[in-house]
Amino acid sequence: MSRIGKLPVLIPSGVTIEVADHSIKVTGPKSTLTRSFPREVKVTQVENEVIIEKKKETDFARAMHGTIRAHIFNMVKGVTEGWVKTLELVGTGYRAEVQGDTLVLSVGYSNQVKMKFPAGVTGKVEKSIVTLESADKELLSLFADNVRGVRPPEPYKGKGIKYVGEVIRRKAGKAAKSAA
């Protein structure tokens, strides 16, 4: 039983939603997002709410009920407020800069790593903090994870690219083992 799926998605002022066939289009002040949904789920708009219902009682329909509701909620929040992911570069000499629509990372490799921003994602760099913004949460999270994957934080010194607020579990290391 999906408790999330039963909740309606409230539509704030300035946001329009179009439900057609098996897709939904959310338009707001920041962007326009479109997503398709499976046939087992019915999406309807009633005044300033979007209601998600299951057409059949199958395992797949139950799984998609809450999932589609969460996607629609994320789309509405994205077109009104937007989503932000913040990454931190930890390590001596680790730098990042934005050159046009490309993020250039210097993170200990012999060459710089250049990553082109996907359409809809913007970024800025202040010291060792990379801030990524987008209306599409899924696209933003995927790009932020790809940036983090260039140099994931290592467990001994904590050097690498990590999310701000992420806790890195540290290992004692070789010297601490031999002393015990």
Is residue 165 predicted with pLDDT exceeding 60? yes
Average pLDDT rounded to a whole number, residues 71-94? 95
Instruction: For each of the domains in the chain, give its residue range(s) and CATH number, in order of start.
Output: 3-80 (3.90.930.12), 83-163 (3.90.930.12)
pLDDT at 176: 62
| Continuous H helices in 81-173 | 137-150
| Residue 62 CB partners (closer than 8 Å, separation 6+) | 1, 2, 54
Mean pLDDT in residue range 165-173: 90
